[in-house]
Structure 1
Amino acid sequence: MKRILYSLLLIVGTCLFSSCADYLDVDKYFYDQVSLDSAFSKRVYVDGWLSSAYSAMDYIGEFSEPFRWTADDLYHPDMKEYHEGNYSADNQFSDSNQNESRLWKYYEGIRKASTFVNNVDLCPELTMDEKTDMKGQARFLRAYCYWALMRVYGPVPLIPLEGLDVNLSYEELSLPREHFDVLVDFVDKELMEAARSLPTKRTVNNLGRPTRGAALGLRSRVLLFAASPLFNGNTDLFDVKDCYGNLLIAQEYDESKWARAAAAARDVIELAKSADLYELYTIAPKATTLEWERPPYNDEYSNKTYPDGWADVDPLLSYKSIFDGTILGSKNRELIYTRTRNGHTCIDNWNEQLMPKTLSGKNRLAVTLKMVNAYAMNDGRSITEAAATGDYVTEGFTTQAYAATNPFLPVNVSLMYNNREPRFYASIGYCGSIWEASSSSETLYRNSQVFYYRGLNDGKQGFKEDCPITGITVKKYYNAEDSRTTGGYRVDKTEMTIRYGEILLNYAEALNELTEGQVYHVTNYMGEDVTIQRDAGEMRYAIKRIRMRAGVPDYSNETYNNQSDFRVKLKRERQVELFAENSMRYFDLLRWKDALQEENQLLQGCDINISDDQTRVADFYKPTIITTVHKMFEQRMYLWPFPTYELKRNVNMTQNPGW
């Protein structure tokens, strides 16, 4: 059998016969090659190989990437160096071993997936349908790994599908970076082929394996990213070149990329309709639910059922239940794809970081004041609009009598958190919120009202900031049963890696960027010609579902017909709806080219130096600049630096500009 080395990195040149990190171990690769015939001779070996390829997913998104806590919505002290821009080509904080780039572990997944696709047909114990499904899974994994690299580094090397001949010289084994559009086309093709090969549904035991919808959903995400300003005619990246001096990012704006992204999102929506697969998850109000627990009465929506209104929707529980473990992933029609880790679909690390010390949590994950202010009032107005009429106030606290008529606020809570939209109460742990911890074996831990005033158990202790640095935390991944105390337990949560709500937002955004009256012909994943154009009715179809589930009014006709106004509102909608999901905010700011403005704003929150002394407690809530954090974002940070040690291994690799 001809020896082919499937490159883990574009790199093996200088590492083939040296002592590198374990994942570059040459003996392992040669073992892979000489044992391919036997490795694919039995079903059990084939299953093991494919399962091994899935391990690359551990390094993407919520589990390991630093970007989940480095945008303008969240702050975690472990991410301070990222917020302050103290990383470089020589200092990669995300790598536990400076001789092993963790993000580049994706190339190991690419190698394994390519080997699998090229050899699974050798197994005589598999049916043709099983081989087709497994190839589809491997293609999905390969595409996901490339996507993870592209959104961080931009153009990266594209590994030949047939591998690299180890008899080549070091220079021939070193690969240059590929043009970004070529990478996008490759991933697009991979995901279309995967979608045609994968089933529409999986059993409960295979929830973490991709389906047709997962492939199409990822394709929607990739093409939206490629159509966005960062990589669509961005002349700021004129100097991103390969080792031969070739430009790697197109300098001319191409509106048809938005049409392509819109068509990809529509593919998911059409699949959802035709196979009755996906829809936003909703819970009906209980018979005991009082009128004031629902969104404010509105003639246009209160008496209509979803998706035309919210008469049959409990907005808070409908939204919160898909993140806090109330609804199993296998029962949730909004879930398109979830990653698993060690057989589990939980994101317990988030829960541990946000839980207060009172309940034995880390008490470290903070929400910025900027994010809190992004949430609308319960009638859909911004806090600025409501303040102009006196309906949004920042002074005063709830009393016992007031709390008795308000379902969301207990006593002694700032009125600045009053009458906010349901997604606010589902996501934000403000000072004075209740943590039920009903699984705790000790009653003293149940229904704790947690305050972050200085000197209290969950507040700042002396000079040690062992609390949410802004005095606000996340509640999106908290379940009322969760407790980290002895005898308590946490409810498993399903990570919403790709969900239908994102697809609807993708569709509306892409359509909005098209010139009014311009018609595009795009080929869908089945090879059929479809027409795409800016359509306010289609945009409303997508956005209204999001808004009605959230219990806030739809946008006006004027907004849908105004490209600029819709763009502003769409960005805010994504910020709120997708808060704390899959590093979404960070990469949205990058692709919109908004990071220079948004990421350089001062970090603000409450003043955690204020105690619960009644003469000064109101000062806790005054907007306060966090002086211990110096946020900084530069132009060069739109693309992550390649580690110096990887550049030394691959002589044909070029560094991103500015690094």
Structure 2
Amino acid sequence: MITKYSKYILLTIAVSLGSCSKFLDVVPSEVVTEDKVWANINTVNGVLAHLYSKLPTGLDGNGQYISDQACSTDEAIFHWYAGSGSEQYNLGAWNSENNPLGNWEDRYQDIRKANIFLEKIATVPIPAEQSSKYAVLIPQYVAEARFLRALFYFELFKRYGAVPLITRSLDYTDQGQYSVARNSTEEVVDFIVKECNEVAGQLPEHHPDAELGRANKGAALALAARTLLYAASPLFNGNTKYAGVVNRDGKVLFPQTYSKEKWLRAAEAAKKVLDLDYKLFSSSDPISSYEKLFFTRDWQETILPYNHPNTKMIEQYHLPYGGAFRGWSHYSPLQELVDSYEMKNGKPITDPSSGYVTTGTWSGTMVGADGTGSSVTLTNISNRYKDRDPRLYATISFQNSMWAAARTKVPIRLAWWGSGQAYGTNGWPMQGGGTTSISGYTIRKWCDPSVDIGNWYTSPDARRNYPIFRLAEFYLAYAEALNEYNGKPTAEAFQAINAVRARVSMPALPILASDQTLEGFRKRVQNENRVEFAFEAHRFWDVRRWLIAETVDNGPVHGMNSRPSAEELKATGLDVNSQEAGLAVFYKAVPLQTRVFQTRHYLMPIPITELDVNRQLVQNYGW
């Protein structure tokens, strides 16, 4: 949109797709023109396929590892090398000229492609023998493209708030067309929701298996519901910090009056999703009922998936280093995330009556503890990990936990002692390069227990998708919106949050007296979102819309003491090369990084290059 962007980029990308390979066999790519693309329904199908390739995903590297968003909040730290996008965010070292997660230009390019598609699709000649087929498909294609355009606008909205709404392809040779002011956040929200509601009835409720991953009715209603939930949240609902962000003609871009009714709209939209025929995924035991959702191609809870290629790379990047695991453990979950998982009695570990203790160890059996759904014997587990929410065990590996491997089963050892790897620890600090886990934890979520990295060529690749929308989100959205609208949780709000908790056998709320208050239930919903969607790229946005990032993403973050100094080990009086010495100093929280989050960071700055091109644009607060 705002950038100089040739319409021919769309065409050269589109015709490179597999669906157009036969066409390219006879037409060199350098002579493909706009007229030729829009004269062939097969190449037009490729244009739509290219739009789908731009769906947002919470897994980076084409589905190989968790996103920078998960490492730019209080979930994890990426420690493999310095200078990553997440490190820039965590240190506050990003701005309008350098924003690794900004995506302004790319999203407007995607929107332009969608606009061109919508303008051209009606003119595409259809062979007579295919006329009845495309009489049905073309209206559906139009609905899909409108949905995708709305989703691209939501991606801009959650980053920048008020953005220009462009619903036609602009002439890139006419610079006057690019002088466009920002629409207000309410206009952007209304546009997204209107588009979704209108196309929902034109999209199929479900696609055949061969077309899973295409937009359906549920996806349209889900996008509307998520958008309205964000719009009702404190970031966008009467945030007086943004009073001075106005267009050059004085137009107010962020509503300055809080509206309770926005929560009602969000609740009603979430309920529409809940009334569809999706259901929460479940399996044989509480751990598996959650865990298996993330290494299978699930279609019962997942409303819209991003289907990543089959791969073993998630296991490679996330599993512990060395031994039977052979992972790289590039990512370290933070103690703050571990501490957010409740006890199995439903009480936070900070509650004095929860039963949480940090001293001593536990040995016993646990069903699903190694990812297979079978009963597994665990030994010498710190009591701090005993009797916790099953989602902890499905999401994070800790000292002496287990993980299935085709060749052998051994405990995961993330404490460090002696010279590291030579002494049997999976927490080995590498020399002259990256390093394995620095927090005493590794990521288990997303990993498939049938994958054996040590037998790379014979072990199967995992088949998984990233759920852009899944049903659990809308149970929690419904609960949150009802609580905020009514000033306290209602019976329906409890039913909604308890549906998500019941999947993993967590006890129903209310449990504490505070659960029945506005503030107490709000904390419950926020924490339920945190543990349910860990490493799914939700938390980064949630803490912003809730206006709590200045607390949770500011200051030191912690892990276990998995990098003790030689002096610490020596001070134990034990053999410094023994596991006993490493464990003697391991179980204490130590700071890993001091993070910076300022008030201006809640919204991203419009890129300075866009402000230079389009003089109608005004900058966001604080930038």
TM-score (norm 1): 0.79
Q: In the alignment, what sits opposite 1:599?
A: 553
Aligned residues: 562
Q: Which residues in structure 2 correspond to 1:492-507 (within 5 Å)?
A: 492-507=463-478
**Distance across 1 between alignment mates of 2:267 and 2:473:** 13
| Cα offset, 1:123, TM superposition | 3.0
Q: In the alignment, what sits opposite 1:291?
A: none
Tell me the secondary structure at the aligned position of residue 614 of structure 1.
Answer: helix
Q: Which digits, 9 at most, give the CA deviation of each residue in 1:247-282, with x for residues without a partner?
A: 210111111111111111111122x2xxxx201112
Report the more deviating stretch, 171-180 or 256-265: 171-180
1:509 aligns with 2:480: yes
Q: Which amino acid aligns with 1:10?
A: I
**Distance across 2 between alignment mates of 1:513 and 1:189:** 24
1:62 aligns with 2:59: yes
Q: Which runs of 5+ in 1 are unaligned?
A: 1-8, 95-100, 286-313, 517-533
Q: Which residues in structure 2 correspond to 1:567-586 (within 5 Å)?
A: 567-581=522-536, 583-586=537-540
Q: In the alignment, what sits opposite 1:266?
A: 271
Tell me the secondary structure at the aligned position of residue 604 of structure 1.
Answer: strand
Q: Which digits, 9 at most, give the CA deviation of each residue in 1:342-393, with x for residues without a partner?
A: xx3x6866443211222332212111111111111122122233x547x322
Q: In the alignment, what sits opposite 1:44?
A: 42
Q: In the alignment, what sits opposite 2:572?
A: none
1:564 aligns with 2:561: no
Residues 24 and 85 of structure 1, relative CA distance in 2, 3 Å threshold: farther
Q: Which amino acid aligns with 1:218?
A: L
| Cα offset, 1:38, TM superposition | 4.4
Q: In the alignment, what sits opposite 1:130?
A: 137
Contact 1:240 1:248 in 2 (8 A): yes
Q: Which amino acid aligns with 1:602?
A: P
Residues 535 and 562 of structure 1, relative CA distance in 2, 3 Å threshold: closer
Report the more deviating stretch, 367-376 or 610-619: 610-619
Q: Which residues in structure 2 correspond to 1:162-201 (within 5 Å)?
A: 162-165=168-171, 168=174, 170-201=175-206
Residues 449 and 123 of structure 1, relative CA distance in 2, 3 Å threshold: same
| Cα offset, 1:540, TM superposition | 2.5
Tell me the secondary structure at the aligned position of residue 303 of structure 2.
Answer: strand
Counterpart pick for 1:423 among 391, 394, 399: 391
Q: Which residues in structure 2 correspond to 1:640-655 (within 5 Å)?
A: 640-655=604-619
Q: Which digits, 9 at most, give the CA deviation of each residue in 1:526-579, with x for residues without a partner?
A: xxxxxxxx8722213311211111211111286664222211111111111111
Q: In the alignment, what sits opposite 1:339?
A: 306
Instruction: Give the superposed CA RMSD.
Output: 2.9
Q: In the alignment, what sits opposite 1:307?
A: none
Q: Which amino acid aligns with 1:119?
A: K
Residues 363 and 349 of structure 1, relative CA distance in 2, 3 Å threshold: same
**Distance across 2 between alignment mates of 1:16 and 1:378:** 57
Tell me the secondary structure at the aligned position of residue 495 of structure 1.
Answer: strand
Q: Which digits, 9 at most, give the CA deviation of each residue in 1:601-634, with x for residues without a partner?
A: 42011001247541451320111122xx221100
Tell me the secondary structure at the aligned position of residue 357 of structure 1.
Answer: coil
Contact 2:280 2:472 in 1 (8 A): yes
1:468 aligns with 2:431: no
Tell me the secondary structure at the aligned position of residue 424 of structure 1.
Answer: helix
| Cα offset, 1:87, TM superposition | 0.9
Contact 1:595 1:633 in 2 (8 A): yes
Q: In the alignment, what sits opposite 1:146?
A: 153
Contact 2:58 2:466 in 1 (8 A): no
**Distance across 2 between alignment mates of 1:477 and 1:549:** 18
Q: Which amino acid aligns with 2:521?
A: F
Q: Which digits, 9 at most, give the CA deviation of each residue in 1:78-132, with x for residues without a partner?
A: 32221111111222345xxxxxx74421112211111222222223435332111
**Distance across 2 between alignment mates of 1:223 and 1:191:** 12
Q: In the alignment, what sits opposite 1:85?
A: 92
**Distance across 2 between alignment mates of 1:150 and 1:630:** 29
Q: In the alignment, what sits opposite 1:73?
A: 75
**Distance across 2 between alignment mates of 1:501 and 1:409:** 31
| Cα offset, 1:46, TM superposition | 1.9
1:281 aligns with 2:281: yes
Q: In the alignment, what sits opposite 1:305?
A: none
Residues 348 and 175 of structure 1, relative CA distance in 2, 3 Å threshold: farther
Q: Which amino acid aligns with 2:291?
A: K
| Cα offset, 1:436, TM superposition | 1.5
Q: Which runs of 5+ in 2 are unaligned?
A: 16-28, 62-66, 370-374, 570-577
Q: In the alignment, what sits opposite 2:163?
A: 156
Report the more deviating stretch, 62-71 or 491-500: 62-71
Q: Which amino acid aligns with 1:603?
A: V
**Distance across 2 between alignment mates of 1:182 and 1:347:** 41
Q: Which amino acid aligns with 1:470?
A: S
**Distance across 1 between alignment mates of 2:400 and 2:515:** 38
Residues 69 and 352 of structure 1, relative CA distance in 2, 3 Å threshold: farther
| Cα offset, 1:162, TM superposition | 3.0
Tell me the secondary structure at the aligned position of residue 413 of structure 1.
Answer: strand
Q: In the alignment, what sits opposite 1:211?
A: 216
Q: Which amino acid aligns with 1:375?
A: Y
Q: In the alignment, what sits opposite 2:413?
A: 451
Tell me the secondary structure at the aligned position of residue 209 of structure 1.
Answer: coil
| Cα offset, 1:644, TM superposition | 2.3
Q: Which amino acid aligns with 1:472?
A: Y
| Cα offset, 1:208, TM superposition | 1.2
Counterpart pick for 1:638 among 574, 590, 602: 602
| Cα offset, 1:471, TM superposition | 1.1
Tell me the secondary structure at the aligned position of residue 411 of structure 1.
Answer: strand
Q: Which amino acid aligns with 2:301?
A: E
Q: Which amino acid aligns with 2:401?
A: S
**Distance across 1 between alignment mates of 2:427 and 2:450:** 23
Tell me the secondary structure at the aligned position of residue 357 of structure 2.
Answer: coil
| Cα offset, 1:220, TM superposition | 0.9
**Distance across 2 between alignment mates of 1:360 and 1:539:** 44
Q: In the alignment, what sits opposite 1:590?
A: 544
Q: In the alignment, what sits opposite 1:536?
A: 490
Q: Which amino acid aligns with 2:539?
A: R
**Distance across 1 between alignment mates of 2:554 and 2:207:** 43
Tell me the secondary structure at the aligned position of residue 169 of structure 2.
Answer: coil
**Distance across 2 between alignment mates of 1:190 and 1:320:** 34
Contact 1:62 1:68 in 2 (8 A): no
Tell me the secondary structure at the aligned position of residue 653 of structure 1.
Answer: coil
Q: In the alignment, what sits opposite 2:108?
A: 107
Contact 1:282 1:319 in 2 (8 A): yes
1:656 aligns with 2:623: no
| Cα offset, 1:55, TM superposition | 2.7
Q: Which digits, 9 at most, give the CA deviation of each residue in 1:379-430, with x for residues without a partner?
A: 2122233x547x322122345xx45999566223222111112111111111
Q: In the alignment, what sits opposite 2:504?
A: 550
TM-score (norm 2): 0.84
Residues 615 and 69 of structure 1, relative CA distance in 2, 3 Å threshold: closer
| Cα offset, 1:178, TM superposition | 1.4
**Distance across 2 between alignment mates of 1:258 and 1:134:** 32
**Distance across 2 between alignment mates of 1:239 and 1:552:** 45
Residues 637 and 44 of structure 1, relative CA distance in 2, 3 Å threshold: same
**Distance across 2 between alignment mates of 1:373 and 1:234:** 30
Residues 225 and 565 of structure 1, relative CA distance in 2, 3 Å threshold: same
Q: Which amino acid aligns with 1:204?
A: D
Tell me the secondary structure at the aligned position of residue 556 of structure 2.
Answer: coil
